[in-house]
Structure 1
Amino acid sequence: MKPLLLLLVSVLTSSLALAESKPNILFIFADDWGWGDLSCHGHPFVKTPNIDRLAEEGTDFYRFTVASGVCSPSRAAVMTGHFPARYNIDGHFAWVPSNARRGMPDWLSPQAPLLPRFLQKAGYATAHYGKWHLSNDMIPDSPLPSEYGYDAYGAFNCAGEQMPVHEDSQHTIDFIEKSQREGKPFFVNLWIHEPHTPFHVIPKYRYRFPDLEEKDNIYASVLSHADDRIGEVLDALDRLKLTENTLVIFSSDNGPARASDAAELALSYDTATGAGYGIAASQGITGGRKGYKASIYEGGVGVPFIARWPGKIAAGKVDKDTLISAVDLLPSFCELAGADLPGDYVPDGISHASTLQGKAAPQREKPLFWKINGTWPQNKRKPEHWASFAIVDQDWKLLSNKDGSYAELYNLATDPLEKTDLKDKQPETTQELLAKLKAWKETLPTQPDPSCFSKERAKK
C-alpha cells in the first residue's frame, strides 16, 4: 500500500475511533418553555409527542434549575459554568442605553471560560443554531457567535445576519451529517425560539387545535411546531445510527412568560425575528410552581430537564430528588467528553457525568445562588417578582430582597411548590443562609468588564 494511502487510512481510522469513543452531545434549550408545557407533564391541551419520546427513552429530572428567571443570564451560565452575576449579567441583553442603565455589559466576553471552546479543543465539532442573546441584534459591533468556540452557527438575537427561527432543525441535521462524514464527535446547541414572543404561527399547526380558543390555539400551535422540529432531529439521529452514542437534553432558559394584566391579542414586532402575536397569547404553566418568567421562585427557574442516552441513563424514569443546575452543565459535558479544564478554572457547578450515565449523583457541597433585579416594595401586579437574591443549600431555599431586610425560607424537599414560609420557625437556618448570601455578594464585581462595552456607549 502506498505511503499516502496508508496515511489517509490511518487518519480516517483514528477519526472514526475518536467519534465512537466520545459521546455526541445535543443540547436543546427552549425559550420561556414552562415546566408544565409538556403533554408528559400533564398539560391539558399542548401536545409534545417528540419531547415525550425523550422522556420515555430517558430520565425526567424534576429538580433542575436555571441560573436566572430571564434568558441572557441563564445562557451565560450554560456557556461558562459560572453564576452570571460574576459577569454583571443580571438581565436580558437589550440596546446599549438599557444595558448601561442596569449596570450590565453589552455582551458576554469571548475571553470567558466557554463550554464550546473546551469541547472544540477536545476534538469536537461544535455548532450553535437558534437564539443567541448573549448580546443583541441591536448592538452591531458585538462579537459574533463564531468568536465563542463554534465551528458553525446560524443565530438570531446576535450581530450580523439573523437566521430565520424555523430553520434551526435543518441546520442542525446538516451539521450532524457533516460531522459524521468527517468522523468527529459533535456538540450542538439547538436553542429554539419557542415559545418566546412574538409567536410566529403557521396555519398547518393552528389547524391541529381547531377546538381551542384563539390564545390557546396560538400557544399550542407554536409548541407543536417546535416539537416537530425536535422530532426531525431525533429522526435524523436514528437514520444516521447515532442515537446510541448521543446524549440529548431538552430544557428551557426560564419559566413561562405571562402578561401582568389582561392583554388584548395583537401583533408585535421583534427586530431579530419579525412579526407575530404578542404577550396576550402567552399561556404557559409551571406545574404548580410559584411565579413565572423573571421571578426566582421555582416557577421562574424550575424548568423541564429531560436527558436521553440509551444504554447509559435509565429509560422512562422520573427523578424527583437530584438537584441539577445550569452551572453544572459545563463540568458535566466536559467530563463526559474528556475535555480538559484550565488549571485556574473554578466552576460554580459540579459535574453530573455520573448522573447522566445512570449512576449515583454526586454530593452537592456548594450552594447555588441567584441575582436578578427584583421590585421592592412588592408590586401587587407582580407579586412573585420582589426577590433580588436567592440561595439554595441542600434542601433549603432562601429568597431575599435587595437590601436583605426581608426574606422567605422554604424546604424544597418537603415543599417544592414554595407554599409555606418557614423563616419564623427556622430562624437559625434563615440567618445562616443570609450570612452565606452576604459572603457571596462580596465576591461579585462592582462594574462590568469595559472590554464588553459597545462603541455606542461613547456616543451617549
Structure 2
Amino acid sequence: MDIKIYLLAIAVLLSFATISVEAQETDQRPPNIVFLFADDLGFGDLGCYGHPYARTPAIDQLAKEGTRFTQFYVTGVTCNPSRTGIMTGLFPARFPKYAADFGFGNRTTITELLKERGYRIGHFGKWHIGPDDSDGTYGIDEIKTIGKSRHKSAGRDDDLYSAAIDFIKDNRDGPFYVNVWGHATHFPVNTPAELADHFNDVTVDRNDFAPTMQHKFDECLKIGGDLDESMRQYLGDVYQIDLNVGRVLKLIDELGLRENTIVVFSSDHGPAPVALENKGAREFSNNMLGYAGEFRGGKHDQYEGGTRVPFIVRWPGQVKAGRVDSSNVCSFVDWLPTLCSIAGIEELPQQLDGENVSNIWLGSDRERTKPLFWKTSATGSTPAMRVGKWKLHLPRKQRGEPELYDLSLDPSESNNIAEDHPEVVDRLGKTLQAWIAELPANYEKTKKR
C-alpha cells in the first residue's frame, strides 16, 4: 500500500475515533443546571400563571418549552427557611441554629454534592444562607453577593444576572450549576420609570383578581396609594425579571447549550404583604401588590398563598414541552435528592426530608411518599402539613382550634372542615406532632427579626 494512502487512512480512523469519544463523553456528561430564583414573587404574578396584566414573554416561552407545575411548594415562608430546604433537603425547623446567622453546620448541601460530581458551581445575587459568602463556601467555586444594580434604569437584578452570564460563558464546557438568586420583587418595590412606563396603559379592574387579593387593594388605598400607579410599579419590577431571564436563555442558545441544560424558574415563597403588622406602612408599601392567585395568604403565612409558588423546568428531550402538571405535589425539599438522581450521584446524606421526584419532572404521575411540613424556627410556633389532598394547620401552642382543608375542593382554604372530619384531624395531627417531637426544643438566632 502506498505510504501516503496508509497514513491518510490512519488519520481518518483517528478522527472518527476522536469524534466517537467526544460524542460518548457528551452522552455521559451530566446536564448543566441553571436555577433562576425570584424573591417574594407570587404564584399568580406571571402571565403563564394567570396574571391579567403581567408581561413576561421570556418566562411564558420557557413554560411552553418545558413543564409548568401548579402544586409546587417551598419549605419556608421567609427568605432563609426557603433556601435552607433547597440547599440541604431538610425542613428548616430541624436546624437549632438559624441558618442565616450560622450556616448549615455539618449538613451536606446540594452544591457540595455536585462539586464532588465534577460540576463548576456559581452563585450570584442574594445569599442569606450563612455568615460566610466567600468562594469555596458550600463547595461553590464563585460567589458574588450582589445587591441592587448600579444602573437603576435596567432594573435591580441586571448586575447579578450579568455576573451569572459571565460565569456561564466561562464554564460553557460544563458541567456547571449556577444559582441566580434575584432581589425582585422583595420590598421595597421602587421601579424606575423606564420599566414602569411599559404599563402606562394598565388600569386596575379589581374584578380581574381573585377575592383573596381584594384586601391588598384595600390596604393600598388606605395608606394613600393609587392602585393603577402601584400596580405599574409592581409590574415593572416583574418585567425586569423577565428581561433578565430572556438574556440567560438567549445566551444558552448562542452557546449551543440548550439540549444539555436544565433551566428552572421559581420563587422563594408567596408575595409580601402591603404592610407588616409590626412595622405598619412604610415608603413604597403601597407598591407591594404581588398576587398569589386564588390562594389565601402570602409571605409569612403557611396558607397556600405563602407556600405554593410557580415552578417551571425545561430540559429539551427529557422534560415534556408544553405540559402543565396540576396533579403532582412537589417541593423544594425534593431539590437535593432530585438533582442528585439526575446528575448520577448515588451517595446521599442519611437524613433527608425530601424525595427524588425526577420521574415527575420527566412526566410521570404518582403520589408523593413523604408529607410536607412547615414550622418557623421558634418554640411553640404554628405548624402545618400537607398529605394528599389534606392541609392541616394546628393552633399556636395548642391554643385555638385546628384548621383542616380539602385542597382538591377548596384550594383557597376558605372553609375549615375540621369539625366535619375529626378522624382526619386526629390521624394527621398525630403525624404532625410526631414530627414536631423530632425538632429542637430551643432555637438560637444572633439577630433580631
**1:422 alignment counterpart:** 417
CA-atom RMSD in angstroms: 2.9
Is 2:254 the partner of 1:239?
A: yes
Is 2:392 the partner of 1:398?
A: yes
Is 2:237 the partner of 1:222?
A: yes
Deviation of the 1:44 alpha carbon: 2.0
Is 2:288 the partner of 1:282?
A: yes
Q: Which runs of 5+ in 1 are unaligned?
A: 1-5, 94-105, 136-140, 158-163, 267-277, 377-386
Q: Distance in 1 between matches of 2:421 and 2:73?
A: 24
Question: In the alignment, is the contact (CA less than 8 A) between 1:78 and 1:327 conserved in 2?
Answer: yes
Which stretch shows the higher mean deviation, 242-251 or 229-238? Answer: 242-251
Task: Pick from 64, 75, 78 the counterpart of residue 70 of structure 1.
Answer: 78
Q: Distance in 1 between matches of 2:418 and 2:89?
A: 30
Is 2:178 the partner of 1:188?
A: yes
Amino acid at match of 1:345: Q
Query: How far does the alpha carbon of each residue in 1:249-307 deviate from its partner, in whole angstroms, 9 at most, with x for none?
Result: 111111001224897673xxxxxxxxxxx322111111110111100000001110111
SS across alignment from 2:299: coil
Q: Distance in 2 between matches of 1:281 and 1:107?
A: 33
State the 4+ residue runs in structure 1 displaced beyond 3 angstroms.
13-16, 141-146, 260-265, 373-376
**1:271 alignment counterpart:** none
Residues 227 and 82 of structure 1: CA distance in aligned 2, closer, same or farther (over 3 Å):
same
Query: How far does the alpha carbon of each residue in 1:201-221 deviate from its partner, in whole angstroms, 9 at most, with x for none?
Result: 233212211234221121111
Which stretch shows the higher mean deviation, 204-213 or 320-329? Answer: 204-213
**1:310 alignment counterpart:** 316
Deviation of the 1:149 alpha carbon: 1.3
Question: In the alignment, is the contact (CA less than 8 A) between 1:249 and 1:308 conserved in 2?
Answer: yes
Is 2:332 the partner of 1:326?
A: yes
Deviation of the 1:369 alpha carbon: 0.7
Residues 373 and 443 of structure 1: CA distance in aligned 2, closer, same or farther (over 3 Å):
closer
Give the structure-2-normalised TM-score.
Answer: 0.81
SS across alignment from 1:391: strand
Deviation of the 1:417 alpha carbon: 1.9
Question: In the alignment, is the contact (CA less than 8 A) between 2:93 and 2:377 conserved in 1?
Answer: no
SS across alignment from 1:424: helix
Q: Distance in 2 between matches of 1:231 and 1:375?
A: 43
Query: How far does the alpha carbon of each residue in 1:40-83 deviate from its partner, in whole angstroms, 9 at most, with x for none?
Result: 12212221111101111111100001011111100000000000
Question: In the alignment, is the contact (CA less than 8 A) between 1:373 and 1:388 conserved in 2?
Answer: no
Query: How far does the alpha carbon of each residue in 1:183-215 deviate from its partner, in whole angstroms, 9 at most, with x for none?
Result: 321111111111002225233212211234221
SS across alignment from 1:341: coil
Task: Pick from 185, 188, 194 the counterpart of residue 198 of structure 1.
Answer: 188
Q: Which runs of 5+ in 2 are unaligned?
A: 1-13, 148-155, 203-227
Amino acid at match of 2:411: P
Amino acid at match of 2:244: R
Deviation of the 1:415 alpha carbon: 2.2
Task: Pick from 149, 152, 157 the counterpart of residue 142 of structure 2.
Answer: 152
Question: In the alignment, is the contact (CA less than 8 A) between 2:94 and 2:439 conserved in 1?
Answer: yes
Question: In the alignment, is the contact (CA less than 8 A) between 2:367 and 2:388 conserved in 1?
Answer: no
SS across alignment from 2:418: coil
Deviation of the 1:241 alpha carbon: 1.1
Q: Distance in 2 between matches of 1:175 and 1:310?
A: 22
Is 2:49 the partner of 1:41?
A: yes
SS across alignment from 2:198: coil
Query: How far does the alpha carbon of each residue in 1:143-184 deviate from its partner, in whole angstroms, 9 at most, with x for none?
Result: 536311111121148xxxxxx74212211111111112xx32
Is 2:184 the partner of 1:166?
A: no
Amino acid at match of 1:292: G
Question: In the alignment, is the contact (CA less than 8 A) between 2:379 and 2:441 conserved in 1?
Answer: no
**2:369 alignment counterpart:** 365
**Structure with higher helix content:** 2
Residues 265 and 391 of structure 1: CA distance in aligned 2, closer, same or farther (over 3 Å):
closer
Give the structure-1-normalised TM-score.
Answer: 0.79
Pairs within 5 Å for 1:88-103: 88=96, 93=100
Task: Pick from 404, 409, 423 the counterpart of residue 409 of structure 1.
Answer: 404
